[in-house]
Structure 1
Amino acid sequence: MHVLLLPNWICWTPIAAVSGSDGLWFDLTGTTHLFGGEERFCRRLLGFLKRLGFAATIAIASTPGAAHALARYSGRPVTLLPSGSEAEALAPLPLAALRLDASALTAAARFGIERVADLYPMPRGPLARRLGLSTVERLDQARGMIAEPIIPVVPFERPEVTRRLLEPIGTPESIAQVISDLVDDLVPLLRQRGLGVRKVALGIDRVDGDVQHLSIGASRATRDGKHLKRMFALKLPEVDPGLRIEAMHLVVPHSEPLDASAVAALIEDNTRSPDLAPLIDQLIGRSGPSALFRVASHESDVPERAVRRVEPLAEPKGWPAWKRPTRLLHYPEQLSNVIALLPDHPPRRFTWRRQDYRVIAGDGPERIHGEWWRRPGELWAVRDYFRVEAEGGLRFWVFRCGDGVDGPTGDLTWYMHGVFG
């Protein structure tokens, strides 16, 4: 068996395995002759990677351990190692080439062992006691004395079902029936593979050769056939049969593992919160994927950057302990006719959206500095925030640009940023 190690992903063989965080093993047995031999294969592969902007080193050897060591530590872009010469080729390489544990490398350095050749004359018993049994195993694997099978990466096959029709169809009722049959075919396949769908794509083949694509999404992995049928029923008005439909397909481009539900979960329990996922899916199906969302915190000192949208079922975490308004404006709006004492007093009067307000109580300031690492203009920027209550009970969150003392911190303009209650 010949093994190729390539520190960047490219598929030139049907059998590949991961090697560390930046490498791959390729099983080239019986494939290099298709490219004119091993040397020409390596040249073609390096040229292909260079055009893509990647740098790589290649080693072809009879064992995965030797290919790993020579690709990373030989210093040559291409190494073709004849079978049976692994021990000689590995001898001058450092011990790290054998993929040893950090503890084994530390122990080897304490005993003055630096090269692979230093391990050859050592008896197996003392070597295993000093550096561990795994060191002996790695050495034998690299030299071909012990087999080291590679575990290939198996491509994931997306669940897919198809219905080819004896007679073309075009009525909404017949289309809905075929979709229902497809879902009934898909659910057992998902159950057999232990999967739940997050997205399902419907492909519609028309007799004129055109293909129409529709898709539905689920906020949580599911294989509930009734729920999937209801979701597709919302998409039925978008189906254009054209000159009639001759085949329909269901493909699952996004799925997640879904275990069986516990029997106790089926018992009526008033303490359990209801599952909102089906309702959310139907609302999204009617109004669009961007209509429903939740607000979660984001790491930022500037309030308008400290929130972000997340999925409806996501659990927001990390809300700050200090008070924030229930309604935060997307962008701060400048106030006019502001009367305030500097530097640490809230405004007494201001005008916002052509309406005058008189402040009867205020609390603050809460000082927030600009994020200087984003842009130079925020290096000295300062905002002093105040919670104020106006006549009539309205409460606002306002801020002043600048600390009221140093000019570079801000121009002392006032802004409205949120409304409490």
Structure 2
Amino acid sequence: MARVVSLFLPGWPIDRLRRALGASAPPPDRRLVLVGREGPRRILTAVSRAAEEAGLRVGMPLTKAHALVPDVMTMPADPAADAAALERLALWTLQHYAPIVAPDPPDGLVIDATGTDHLHGGEARMLTGLVNRLAASGISARAAVADTWGAAYAAARFLADPVRVIASGAAGKAVAPLPIQGLRLPPETVAGLHVLGFASIGDVLAVPRAPLVLRFGPLLGRRIGQLEGTVREPVDPLRDLELVTVRKVFGEPIGAPETIARYTAALVRDLCLALEKRGLGARRLDLLFHRVDNSLQAIRVGTARAAREEKRLTRLLCDRIETIDPGFGIEIMDLTATLAEPLVLQQAASSLIEEEQADIAALLDVIANRIGADRLYRLAPVESDVPERSVRRLPPLAPDDGAAWQERWPRPARLLARPEPVEVVALLPDHPPAFFTWRGVRRRVKRADGPERIFGEWWKRDAERAAVRDYFRVEDTEGERFWLFRSGDEAQAASGGGRWFLHGVFA
């Protein structure tokens, strides 16, 4: 089942202008509008949030806007710059999220995310990560994913807050209450439907289609079919001429897996030669299959570091061929190095003078493309006494910075994401527990060692000046070992409430 993401950028012209102006951009609380022409009239084409709160709207004449808000700041609209920036954003999304991305002018993108969400931890995490990264760059965004472009478009604009995942098969029910504007119809068609009493998409879907098409034209019928999935709406993928791409066009459509694998190997060979001429190595490859029914299938693979070994890249792609449905046949195959980096060849180590080290990059690539690169990492120490701050995640092949793990006090093999409260029975408040109950299971402590006192990092936050934890290593009668702590030192109320928590489990 196809899964399509619609990304909506409600303040795109204003956000794009602010990023272009940089430090000289007006503050966010300034009432800013962009002005364009509609025939002889000058109208507002975009308004900032502050201007919208003051009562200004897109399409309003400039003279009326000045009458309502005399101190409004005006700047000329630049639709060409907006479109060019939207294409650059689509290219960035292509490189980081999915192999099939296209601009959806004037204020959005469409992404065919079929089979790629697992590389980002699932659909919800993928959408949240995309929206958050844009927000960090000063671009407001909302996103939705559904089975069809039409359903995702409507949900992104009228349902997402800021993201929305519509389960497979539930698009019709989810978008039924939304306004008719979600059908991507011209304003005059929307106005005509309102005159007839239609208020929502569900109202339109509930009546026979033929009379509506007869009155408003075939576009309405096509939009309804595209939303329901009965009419195909392929995404025409964006491609940058600067990306290294090779293509194979077939005289007769192909469909057998072994045939696809053979031509995949040939395309990888051609791509590696093209990369070698530019001194580049691939970090991300997209293999697109153009089917005879005008639809697209795609495979995306990545590498831990730049590479152009034919055998290695071919294996990564061929491992994913089973996910491709050739349908009635594939007529074109495109292979693109969506993300490439300079690759400098190094002299191989000599076994006569130094010990040969195993290269695990190929193994990491296979695992990462199956479970997602974000799930593959290694842990590195951080200079901090606070346990949850003393470790960080790094990419598996990140260079070693020389930091060493502290060995003064043993630490558990598994540290909980957050300390979990436990009920404790102790002889005295400053003694180790005799019994504790964790997750509904009562455990009797057989041995205990501690306390190890850890103070808060007062130089980071004032609230940690008096924070204290006393950690104990305990072993229950079943031989399981745990890491517990008591918050506070019983002398100062601000140091903690004296409650007990379980923070880790020893191997």
The counterpart of 1:283, out of the listed 332, 356, 367, is: 367
Which letter does structure 2 place at the counterpart of 1:47?
P
1:309 equivalenced with 2:338 (yes/no): no
* Counterpart residue number, 1:169: 254
1:382-393 matched pairs, under 5 angstroms: 382-390=468-476
The alpha-carbon deviation at position 366 of structure 1 amounts to 1.9
The alpha-carbon deviation at position 399 of structure 1 amounts to 0.8
* Counterpart residue number, 2:317: 232
* Counterpart residue number, 1:403: 489
Please report the TM-score for the alignment, with normalisation by the length of structure 2. Answer: 0.48
Which letter does structure 1 place at the counterpart of 2:490?
G
The counterpart of 1:253, out of the listed 338, 341, 358, is: 338
The alignment partner of 1:265 has SS state of coil
The alpha-carbon deviation at position 228 of structure 1 amounts to 0.7
* Counterpart residue number, 1:413: 499
Q: Give the Cα–Cα distance (whole angstroms) in 1 for the partners of residues 241 and 467 of structure 2.
A: 52
Conserved? CA contact 1:295–1:316, under 8 Å? no
Change (3 A) 1:364 1:337: closer
Q: Give the Cα–Cα distance (whole angstroms) in 1 for the partners of residues 311 and 387 of structure 2.
A: 43
The counterpart of 2:376, out of the listed 284, 289, 292, is: 292
* Counterpart residue number, 1:221: 306
Which letter does structure 2 place at the counterpart of 1:203?
L
Q: Which moved more, 1:315-324 or 1:219-228?
A: 315-324
* Counterpart residue number, 1:47: 76
Please report the TM-score for the alignment, with normalisation by the length of structure 1. Answer: 0.57
The counterpart of 1:273, out of the listed 357, 362, 387, is: 357
Conserved? CA contact 1:359–1:388, under 8 Å? yes
The alignment partner of 1:249 has SS state of strand
Conserved? CA contact 2:435–2:442, under 8 Å? no
The counterpart of 2:289, out of the listed 167, 181, 204, is: 204
* Counterpart residue number, 2:456: 369
Q: Give the Cα–Cα distance (whole angstroms) in 1 for the partners of residues 444 and 79 of structure 2.
A: 67
Q: Give the Cα–Cα distance (whole angstroms) in 1 for the partners of residues 241 and 396 of structure 2.
A: 28
Q: Give the Cα–Cα distance (whole angstroms) in 2 for the partners of residues 163 and 390 of structure 1.
A: 65
Q: Give the Cα–Cα distance (whole angstroms) in 1 for the partners of residues 399 and 285 of structure 2.
A: 24
Asked which structure has the greater RCO (Cα within 8 Å, sep 6+), the reply is: 2
Change (3 A) 1:301 1:362: closer
1:6-405 matched pairs, under 5 angstroms: 47-48=76-77, 157-262=242-347, 264-265=348-349, 271-297=355-381, 302-315=386-399, 317=401, 318-321=403-406, 322-323=408-409, 324-343=411-430, 345-353=431-439, 354-369=441-456, 380-390=466-476, 394-405=480-491
The alignment partner of 1:296 has SS state of strand
Q: Percent identity?
A: 39
Q: Give the Cα–Cα distance (whole angstroms) in 2 for the partners of residues 320 and 348 of structure 1.
A: 31
The alpha-carbon deviation at position 319 of structure 1 amounts to 5.0
Conserved? CA contact 2:424–2:433, under 8 Å? no
The alpha-carbon deviation at position 333 of structure 1 amounts to 2.2
Q: Give the Cα–Cα distance (whole angstroms) in 1 for the partners of residues 81 and 489 of structure 2.
A: 53
Q: Give the Cα–Cα distance (whole angstroms) in 2 for the partners of residues 221 and 50 of structure 1.
A: 37
Q: Give the Cα–Cα distance (whole angstroms) in 1 for the partners of residues 420 and 250 of structure 2.
A: 60
The alpha-carbon deviation at position 310 of structure 1 amounts to 2.5
Q: Give the Cα–Cα distance (whole angstroms) in 1 for the partners of residues 338 and 444 of structure 2.
A: 55
* Counterpart residue number, 2:86: none
Conserved? CA contact 1:302–1:371, under 8 Å? no
Which letter does structure 2 place at the counterpart of 1:183?
V
The alpha-carbon deviation at position 179 of structure 1 amounts to 0.8
Change (3 A) 1:266 1:232: farther
Q: Give the Cα–Cα distance (whole angstroms) in 2 for the partners of residues 285 and 268 of structure 1.
A: 35
The alpha-carbon deviation at position 410 of structure 1 amounts to 1.9
Q: Give the Cα–Cα distance (whole angstroms) in 2 for the partners of residues 50 and 215 of structure 1.
A: 33
The alpha-carbon deviation at position 226 of structure 1 amounts to 0.3
Conserved? CA contact 1:336–1:414, under 8 Å? yes
Which letter does structure 1 place at the counterpart of 2:378?
R
Which letter does structure 2 place at the counterpart of 1:182?
L
Q: Give the Cα–Cα distance (whole angstroms) in 1 for the partners of residues 478 and 334 of structure 2.
A: 61
Conserved? CA contact 1:200–1:254, under 8 Å? yes
The alpha-carbon deviation at position 200 of structure 1 amounts to 0.6
Unmatched 5+ stretches in structure 1: 1-6, 11-20, 24-45, 54-154
The alpha-carbon deviation at position 234 of structure 1 amounts to 0.8
Q: Which moved more, 1:316-325 or 1:218-227?
A: 316-325
Q: Give the Cα–Cα distance (whole angstroms) in 2 for the partners of residues 385 and 219 of structure 1.
A: 39
Change (3 A) 1:51 1:165: closer
Which letter does structure 1 place at the counterpart of 2:367?
L
* Counterpart residue number, 2:67: none
The alpha-carbon deviation at position 379 of structure 1 amounts to 6.8
Which letter does structure 2 place at the counterpart of 1:409?
S
Q: Give the Cα–Cα distance (whole angstroms) in 1 for the partners of residues 400 and 472 of structure 2.
A: 26
Which letter does structure 1 place at the counterpart of 2:492?
D
Conserved? CA contact 1:284–1:292, under 8 Å? yes
Q: Give the Cα–Cα distance (whole angstroms) in 2 for the partners of residues 184 and 278 of structure 1.
A: 18
The alignment partner of 1:221 has SS state of strand
Partner deviation per Cα, 1:200-223 (whole Å, 9 max, x = no partner) = 111111122212221111112111
Q: Give the Cα–Cα distance (whole angstroms) in 2 for the partners of residues 261 and 336 of structure 1.
A: 58
Change (3 A) 1:326 1:183: same
